[in-house]
Structure 1
């Protein structure tokens, strides 16, 4: 049976509408062209039969073959150089930007075109093209129609794809297009795959070489409008580019990851769809974008949140939304897909939207607090109603159990971080009261805030273990409590936090500084390691913090991408990729090292 590449083998392409993954051996194994959380046309990532578009030298991976790749500076345009015994060839891949797009226009009207440009560098290299689209997560096999210009039109269900390959005349097979051709030094061949709707506008037609140049300029112009002057500039700039690539430009929402159902543990069942936007990630994302000097992105993201939440009633604020603010993203299983390395089920949708997670209002309020000066001395109606509604909901519900930051699918508990987030929500509401009008009740909010603090300090601390644990009355450690100093609930220098940090390092960490979320977590979670970096800075251990940061960033793949988790024994990446939280953690930790008293 066909072997699937390691998760870290994939590079990320984006047009800020959709994203694609391309492997080291030149195969596009994931693309949902309509939008990030839309249906796929290539999904070999989750099943060898679910569609791909491979373009690589014949004999890829054989004797004398090696590959090197890198993004063009300040872009998500990926250049892969294949070195073979017969010569070298470069393939440059991108998702096309709209003609003339610059700066903050990037992605708003993307044409949904995948560009692949082949360039001969030396010798003569025999190349092979294998185009096998399988729409609807592999449920559909399209009809293939040869076109007068040498291209092939693929159509099935609601979509069409047009493949063109420069001057090459392609022949349609029964269910795929295969073609071999030779590339000599100096020869350039541009290819593109354009997406269209069966009953809508036809696929866009572009000149691949011109579109590639235009896309490169668009990304670079975008990055020129964002300046970061702190430590680890290249890492921060690249991670902010990845976050931009995960941003759905039409609304400003940031997808938690590009993919669905990549496993936290090979063969396991914790395989979730992360192509939506989590309110929990919102505050962290805002913080990271602010650090990376992206104020326009923060304002767009903020507008998306207020619109998506809508009027707040008795029901819990939803945990996540679709990228245009859809609330119901109910989950179903794709039983026809075998999953990445047989890790099932494969899920589309995420039922975490139904959960009660009490930390969510606090995350949103923290973002409002961070942008309070930017938002004005008097809040507009929708923002004011959201802040008042969040404060009142927290005041009414903080004593309830919930599912916690890690979205457990077992019993609800009284999670420490959830309670601290309730404290955070009311603390920030008190500070914002003068902008909220006559219905603000800062005295009552402050009283409840102080009660929450007393309860957390009493019930969250485990004297026998010498640490704050994950939930009241539980001996189970949880790395989420490292966020307590970040939220300014308790100084990192407090003896209880110092002890907690030491216990978490000892019991959840590795010698390399990787940190699990809890003791039975099968892999490390990069965000937790970056939280630890911040805590070490705040305790004055700058040298240790820098060393830890530099070890953790070393686990990124060869093009600087982080997935959701890292295998403790092998160091390979696991889970959905690229993962926004991992890159957010990197940005915020770098800024903490730069300015220890920031935030």
Structure 2
């Protein structure tokens, strides 16, 4: 059975509607062209039989073969150079932007076309094209029809895909298109795969070279509207570009990752679908967008959240939504898929939407507080209703147990990070009261805020181990307590916090700078490692914070992408990729190193 490449082998393409992953071997192994959480037409990432589209020299991986690749600056246009004994060839990959798109138009009307341009650099290289579409997450083998212009139409179920290659007449096999051709120095071959719905408009017809140039200009124009003046600017700008690529342009929602079911541990079952937008990540995301992007992205994300939440009832606010605000994200297993390196189940949907997670309102209102001056002295109706509704819900429910930031699937507990987030809700709401109209009850909210704080300090501290722990009454350490200084619940210089930081670093840390979430966690969690950077900087230990930042940043792959976690033994990337929270963690940690006392 064919083995799947390491997670770090993949580069990320995006049209801000969906995304694709391309491996170092030239294979597109993941593409859900309808939108981020749609069905994959290429799914080799989670099953070798689930489809791919490879364009690479014949004999990839043989003697004398090597690869180097890089994004064009400030874009998600990826150029891979294959060096062979017979010469060198470049393959440039992108998901097409709308022709003429600029700045904040990026992705609004993307045509759902995958562009691949092959360019001979030296010698004469024999190339192999292998087009194996498997729509509906590998459930469907489409019919292949040769076209008069030399292309091939793949059609089956709800999907049509049109494959074209300039100057090549492609032949359709029974279930794939396999074609070899030679490229000499200076020769260029443009290819595209255009997606269409079976009963909708036909796939777009674009010139690959013209479209590649237009897509590159669109990305460059987008980044030109943003600025960042802090430390580690190159890393921050790239991570901001990745976040833009994970943004669903039509709504402004940021998905947690491009993929579903890449495992936290090879062979394990903690394989979740991350192609949705988490409210919990809201404040962190907003801070990163504010630092490295511009207010327009932040305001669109607020509008999406308010619309998604809607008017309040008694039910908890879901922690996550679909990219257009869908609530019901019921989870099911794709039993026909093998999973990444046999890590089952493969999931579509995420049942965390059903959980009570008390930290959600604090993340949203914390983001409102951060951008309060930009949002104005008087909030619009939807924003005001959202803030009032979330605040009152926390006032009524903060004392309840929940599933916590790590979305445990066992029992509810009184998680410390959830209570601190409830305190954040009430504290920021008190500060925003003058902008919320006559229904704002500032005095009562302040009483609730102070009660939560007293409870956290009393119940969350464990005298025996000398640290704040993950849940009330527990002796188990949890890296989520590092959020206390970040949320300005306690300063990092507070003796209790210093003791906690030292204990977490000693018991959950590794010599390589990685931090686990808890003692039995099998991998280092990149966001937590960047939280530790922030805590050290806020405690005045800037030199140590810088050294840690640079070690953790070094866990990106060769094109600057992070997954969710790092294997503690091999250093391999684990979990869904590219992971928004990891890139958000980098941006926020870099800014903390620039402005240690920033709020």
- Bin of the TM-score, shorter chain as denominator length: over 0.9
Q: In the alignment, what sits opposite 2:209?
A: 209
User: Deviations 1:412-470 (Å, cap 9, x if unpaired)?
Assistant: 00000000000000000100010111111111110011010001001000111111000
Cα contact 2:116–2:192 (8 A) shared by 1 = yes
Deviation of the 1:371 alpha carbon = 1.1
User: Deviations 1:47-92 (Å, cap 9, x if unpaired)?
Assistant: 0000000000000001110000000011000000000000000000
- Coordinate RMSD, CA, aligned: 0.5
2:240 equivalent to 1:264: no
2:181 equivalent to 1:181: yes
Q: Distance in 1 between matches of 2:465 and 2:216?
A: 53
Q: In the alignment, what sits opposite 2:532?
A: 532
Q: In the alignment, what sits opposite 2:521?
A: 521
1:32-71 correspondence runs (5 A): 32-71=32-71
Q: In the alignment, what sits opposite 2:504?
A: 504
Secondary structure of the 1:138 match is coil
User: Deviations 1:158-196 (Å, cap 9, x if unpaired)?
Assistant: 010000011100000000000000000000000000000
Q: Distance in 1 between matches of 2:597 and 2:419?
A: 24
Q: Distance in 1 between matches of 2:293 and 2:595?
A: 15
Q: Distance in 2 between matches of 1:160 and 1:188?
A: 26
Q: In the alignment, what sits opposite 1:558?
A: 558
Deviation of the 1:370 alpha carbon = 0.8
1:342-361 correspondence runs (5 A): 342-361=342-361
User: Deviations 1:13-61 (Å, cap 9, x if unpaired)?
Assistant: 0000010000000000000000000011000000000000000000000
Deviation of the 1:336 alpha carbon = 0.2
Q: Distance in 2 between matches of 1:461 and 1:418?
A: 15
2:155 equivalent to 1:172: no
Q: Distance in 2 between matches of 1:287 and 1:435?
A: 21
Deviation of the 1:313 alpha carbon = 1.6
1:241-320 correspondence runs (5 A): 241-320=241-320
User: Deviations 1:514-557 (Å, cap 9, x if unpaired)?
Assistant: 00011111101110010000000011000000000000000000
Cα contact 2:89–2:118 (8 A) shared by 1 = yes
Secondary structure of the 1:280 match is coil
User: Deviations 1:340-385 (Å, cap 9, x if unpaired)?
Assistant: 0000000000000000000000000001101111111111111111
Q: Distance in 2 between matches of 1:380 and 1:246?
A: 27
- Count of residue correspondences: 599
2:596 equivalent to 1:586: no
Q: In the alignment, what sits opposite 1:331?
A: 331
TM-score normalised according to structure 2 size: 1.00
Secondary structure of the 1:516 match is coil
User: Deviations 1:298-346 (Å, cap 9, x if unpaired)?
Assistant: 1111110010000112110110000000000100000000000000000
Q: Distance in 2 between matches of 1:105 and 1:170?
A: 35
Q: Distance in 1 between matches of 2:287 and 2:362?
A: 14
Q: In the alignment, what sits opposite 1:112?
A: 112
Secondary structure of the 2:405 match is coil
Q: Distance in 2 between matches of 1:151 and 1:100?
A: 26
Q: In the alignment, what sits opposite 1:239?
A: 239
Q: Distance in 2 between matches of 1:89 and 1:494?
A: 57
1:426-445 correspondence runs (5 A): 426-445=426-445
Deviation of the 1:96 alpha carbon = 0.3
Deviation of the 1:293 alpha carbon = 3.3
Q: In the alignment, what sits opposite 2:364?
A: 364
Q: Distance in 1 between matches of 2:249 and 2:287?
A: 19
Q: Distance in 1 between matches of 2:282 and 2:220?
A: 25
Residue segments in structure 1 that go unaligned for 5+ positions in a row: none
1:375-454 correspondence runs (5 A): 375-454=375-454
Q: Distance in 2 between matches of 1:294 and 1:578?
A: 21
Q: Distance in 2 between matches of 1:76 and 1:406?
A: 30
Q: In the alignment, what sits opposite 1:30?
A: 30
Residue segments in structure 2 that go unaligned for 5+ positions in a row: none
Q: Distance in 1 between matches of 2:440 and 2:532?
A: 36
Q: In the alignment, what sits opposite 1:81?
A: 81
User: Deviations 1:227-246 (Å, cap 9, x if unpaired)?
Assistant: 10110000000000000000
Q: Distance in 2 between matches of 1:38 and 1:465?
A: 47
Deviation of the 1:109 alpha carbon = 0.2
Q: In the alignment, what sits opposite 1:15?
A: 15
Cα contact 2:240–2:293 (8 A) shared by 1 = no
Q: Distance in 1 between matches of 2:312 and 2:120?
A: 59
Q: Distance in 1 between matches of 2:589 and 2:420?
A: 21
Q: Distance in 2 between matches of 1:209 and 1:293?
A: 29
Q: Distance in 1 between matches of 2:439 and 2:487?
A: 26
Q: Distance in 1 between matches of 2:38 and 2:283?
A: 25
Deviation of the 1:260 alpha carbon = 0.0
User: Deviations 1:198-220 (Å, cap 9, x if unpaired)?
Assistant: 00000000000000000000000
User: Deviations 1:467-500 (Å, cap 9, x if unpaired)?
Assistant: 1000001111100000100000001000000000
Query: 4+ residue stretches of structure 1 with deviation over 4 A?
Result: none
Secondary structure of the 1:480 match is helix
- Once the two structures are overlaid, the 10-residue window that deviates more, 47-56 or 381-390, is 381-390
Secondary structure of the 1:137 match is coil
Secondary structure of the 2:280 match is helix
Deviation of the 1:282 alpha carbon = 1.2
Secondary structure of the 1:448 match is helix
Secondary structure of the 1:505 match is helix
